[in-house]
Structure 1
Amino acid sequence: MSIPSILQREIDARLAHRGTGSRVRLVLAGSAMSVMGKLLAGQAPLRGRASLDLVVQPFDYRVARRFWGIEDPRLALRLNAIVGGTPAYRTGFVDHDSPGDDLDDWVVRRVLGSATPLFREARYLLTNEMEIRDEALYHAVLGAIAAGNNTRGGIAGHMERKTTDIAHPLAVLEDCQLIRKEIDPIRKRSLYRVAEPLVTFYEAIMRPSWSLLERGWADRVWQAARPRFTSQVVGPRFEHVCREFALARDWDGEFAAEVAAGIAPGGGRGQNIEVDVIALAPQDNHTRWLLSVGEAKWSEIMNVGHLKRLEQARDQLHTRGLDTRDTVLALYSGAGFDAALTDAAARDPRILLVDLPMLYGSA
């Protein structure tokens, strides 16, 4: 007899003898979504016997910064790109050891050190899921996404596989909440992202150099991987955080119902514009309001050229039937803005410059 069946028998017996007045409660907790998700589904023994079904979400980027006790928003974002908002990574995994001012030293000591709890954690997140059999295949899918391939065709091409070969792994990884599927709000195409930052860090930084890390050469690996960390880990995480900012922001009395990355289709070949942040108002009986289009650059000082690109994207989205009369052009930068762009924003309230202090709510 399975454990859920035993629990069903005991719960039903207790209810039969004591009714519903008992204050005794059974708490079932677990981190493997493929296991926990089946406990109350379909014809499962415990279905109908739960008074609470709670998925505990990680902290958002602002709460995570406070939880780690980090003042510098740039350091907070770089750390968030590694450990996300999982509270246990601050407590049990690193024994409350915060990076301080030196993230490089902390990464070498606490993440890349082969004897540290975080070293194998990303691998365990995958092996904990009972639906996953061929770990190499699933790591290849995650690695392709972490490398910046977000469409089904792009992932398959990176792996040199057919798209039909990866349909099942994508579905399983999504069910396990190791990846999430986002929909381009304009072209309605699926985009896949790695949901857990530590998995992205593992696939982009650790897995390619695993044998060296097991030899204890963490510092050597990290020095070589730092440019890749910026481009494949921090950059995409920064874009995600910017979308979170746009979703939470009050856009002149209106909140976005949908925020995602997408394509502003052009009229000819090569004229499509990739947009990092598309914020749309709720759909009603009128033309849908495009609240904002935004571009995010982690390590690049933004200029008027970036603004003109957003203006073109806005105009192209207008031709797709969106109301763009009051659309805010949002430029998100981890490195700052040049004088000409700053002057342009000062003259036009529909141009929004978002730096790290504003992103974290301290400006």
Structure 2
Amino acid sequence: MASSDLSLPGKPEWVFDREAEWDALIAFARDTAPGARLGVVSGRLRQGKTFLLETLSAVTGGFYFGAQQVAEAESLNRLGEALARYTGTPVPFHRHGWEEAVEALLALGEERPVPVVLDEFPHLVRQSPALPSVLHNACRLRRQAGRLSQARLLLSGSSLPLMRRLFGPASPLRELAGPSLTVGPLDYRQAARFWGIDDPRLALLVHAVVGGTPAYRHDYVEDDVPAGPDDFDAWVCRTVLNRRRRLYQEAHHLLQEETDHWDRALSHSALSAVATGCATQGQVADCLGTPLTDTARCLTLLRENGLLESEPDAFRPHVARLRVAEPLLAFEHGAVHAHRPALEQRDPAEVWKHARPVFDSVVMPVHFAQVCREWALNFADPAVFGARPVTAARGTLPDPAHAGGAETAADVVVRGPGDARAGVLLSVGLARWDEVMDVPHLEHLRGLLARLSDLGEDVGRARPACYGAAGFSDALRAAEAAGEVVLVGLDRLYGQG
């Protein structure tokens, strides 16, 4: 990137966190290199892309246009009106085609670097499939004519599959594409700060419901934050289970918007299957009683849209393990989905009494284990495991003591760099949400390490670890003091201990 005499504005105080995203956007917007450049901003709905891009435009004096799902002519008219307001043209001018409109956008950068944001760019491409080629040709013709623009085009979109196709190897925009930025959810620590929750157990409970999606706090629950741990149940009833709040239908809307017009009924069922314990494609197909081909197509769609994640088993890399990527969908399909008809007729508090045990026994253990893996990968000091982790995943082995496909599992398997395909084994851990962890948990891990050693795994550097939300026994604390086990409680997960 060329050096610039232009100062780089700091992130406004009203933008929470997002330091890395802001630095990348502002550096791109103020890049003084000759010629138009193109940046890509993608991410699922509700994560704050529009907020960041609107703020960037306001701070830098850039141009912002938010596309809508309308006809091509209406989009062109709206763009013309927005350009007229931006340039101070007294009478809005209407563009008769994208060639003319793109030329007007590039002309905005003829005197200085200026960000030109086309938010929800996929809406425009659906209306005008030739738009990527029009953009490419306009930039090429300007270069050939020596009419270089310093427009910094930022094309943003929430449709992840379409964004990947638009800027993939076969796209004409590939030649122009510069930095690519993904705006994702806040991590669990950021989310706790964003919601203003200091109690780690309450923070984790709230995160299991709404995850790290910024829009949910202000727009979807109207800044309703639990007053304390004893207020959590009431908070669930007055927010996500409250028919008068936007969050009530959000799981349904997410699936509807993200998966376009595919089989939504099958998508709901597939998410329910994964949220309640089906971890492989075959298990989901068996649970739903659907052909494997239909199940595979559905799961692929959910993965492409960022609603499901597929991760290799830490001990058997050829086995892919599924999990629901969005906590709100895991909450809905793991604990609430079966109670939806009752919610339409009965008091939320009465319905939650039946759903809460499922939330505690099904949703929270899975969510807690995932947060523990995130801690190991992103927050643990390298000294904890003897090296910087590269992966943290669930691992399973067939249990020789039980027939019928039973497995022995480790919830947090940490691997570091190494010559082995999977990386050197640094730690094998168990995560328990609702039980005090004791010496038998450590013995289980020792037995698992012995089995791995018998199977040829190098376990010489592997440290047993217990992740416990309900605490640890005195005996296990003594084992920690003796250097026999790593203990990670809620305070440590949230950087409070």
Which TM-score applies when normalising by structure 2?
0.68
CA apart distance, 1:200? 0.7
SS at match of 1:254: coil
Q: Distance in 1 between matches of 2:434 and 2:494?
A: 17
- The equivalent of 1:61 in structure 2 is 188
Shift of 1:149: 1.0
Alignment partners' CA distance in 1, 2:421 and 2:365: 36
The answer to whether the 8 Å contact 1:265/1:317 transfers is: no
State the partner residue of 2:276. Answer: 147
SS in 2 for 1:239: helix
SS in 1 for 2:480: helix
Which of 201, 204, 208 is the equivalent residue of 2:338?
208
Q: Which residue number in structure 1 is paired with residue 227 of structure 2?
A: 100
The whole-number CA distance in structure 2 between the counterparts of 1:139 and 1:51 is 37
Shift of 1:166: 0.9
* Structure 2 residue ranges without an equivalent (≥5): 1-71, 73-126
Paired with 2:287 and 2:399, the residues of 1 have a C-alpha distance of 26
Q: Are 1:179 and 2:311 counterparts?
A: no
Shift of 1:229: 0.8
List per-residue Cα deviations over 1:210-231 (Å, max 9, x = no partner): 2222336322211211111112
Alignment match, 1:301: 436
Deviations 1:140-196 (A, max 9, x none): 111100111112222122212343331111111111111000111212211100000
1:287, 1:322 within 8 Å by CA — same for their partners in 2? no
1:330 aligns with 2:460: no
What does residue 97 of structure 2 align with?
A: none
Of 13, 19, 33, 2:138 maps to 13
Residue number in structure 2 paired with 1:353: 487
How far apart, in 2, do the equivalents of 1:226 and 1:203 lie? Answer: 13
* Matched residue SS, 1:275: strand
- The match for 2:392 among 235, 259, 269 is 259
Distance 1:26 1:110 in 2: 39
**Conserved 8 A contact 2:136-2:173:** no
Answer whether contact 2:259 2:302 (CA < 8 A) is retained.
Answer: no
Counterpart residue identity of residue 394, structure 2: A
The alpha carbon displacement at 1:50 in A equals 2.8
Give the number of aligned pairs. 362
Where in structure 2 are the equivalents of 1:271-310 lying within 5 Å?
272-284=407-419, 289-310=424-445
Asked whether 1:165 is paired with 2:290, we answer no
In the alignment, which residue of structure 2 is the partner of 1:109? 238
Structure-2 residue corresponding to 1:76: 203
**Residues 227-259 of structure 1: per-residue CA shift (max 9 Å, x gap):** 111122211010001111122321454112222
Assess if the C-alpha contact under 8 Å between 1:265 and 1:316 holds in 2.
no
Write the distance in 1 (CA, Å) between the matches of 2:416 and 2:410: 17
SS in 1 for 2:182: coil
| Contact 2:285-2:295 at 8 Å conserved across structures | yes
Whole-angstrom distance in 1 between the partners of 2:243 and 2:422: 56
Unpaired segments ≥5 residues, structure 1: none
1:231 match = 361
Q: Is the 8 A contact 1:131 1:172 kept in 2?
A: no
Residues 1:165 and 1:130: Cα distance change in structure 2 (over 3 Å): closer
Report SS of the residue matched to 2:155: coil
C-alpha offsets along residues 255-290 of structure 1, whole Å, 9 cap, x if unaligned?
122221111455554585211111122231699632
Say if 1:91 and 1:287 are closer, same or farther in 2 by CA, change over 3 A: closer
Structure 1 CA distance for aligned equivalents of residues 196 and 268 of structure 2:
33
Closer/same/farther in 2, CA of residues 284 and 17 from structure 1, 3 Å limit = closer
CA–CA separation in structure 1 for the residues paired with 2:402 and 2:332: 37
Q: Distance in 2 between matches of 1:70 and 1:279?
A: 29
Could you tell which deviates more after superposition, 291-300 or 2-11?
2-11
Contact 2:136 2:172 in 1 (8 A): no
CA distance in 2, matches of 1:215, 1:20: 65
Residue among 183, 191, 199 paired with 2:321: 191
Instruction: Name the CA distance, whole Å, in 2 between partners of 1:334 and 1:105.
Output: 22
Moved more, 143-152 or 243-252: 243-252
Conserved? CA contact 1:35–1:129, under 8 Å: no
Question: What is the identity, as a one-letter code, of the residue corresponding to 2:279?
Answer: N
Aligned to 1:28, the other structure's residue is in SS state: strand
Distance 1:14 1:154, change over 3 A: closer
2:9 corresponds to which residue?
Answer: none
Closer/same/farther in 2, CA of residues 17 and 77 from structure 1, 3 Å limit: same
User: Normalized against structure 1, the TM-score is what?
Assistant: 0.91
Greater mean deviation of Cα atoms: 287-296 or 330-339: 287-296
Aligned-pair distance for 1:125? 1.6
Please list, as runs of the form range in 1=range in 2, the aligned pairs for 1:307-322 lying within 5 A after superposition.
307-322=442-457
* Residue of structure 1 aligned with 2:352, choices 222, 234, 237: 222
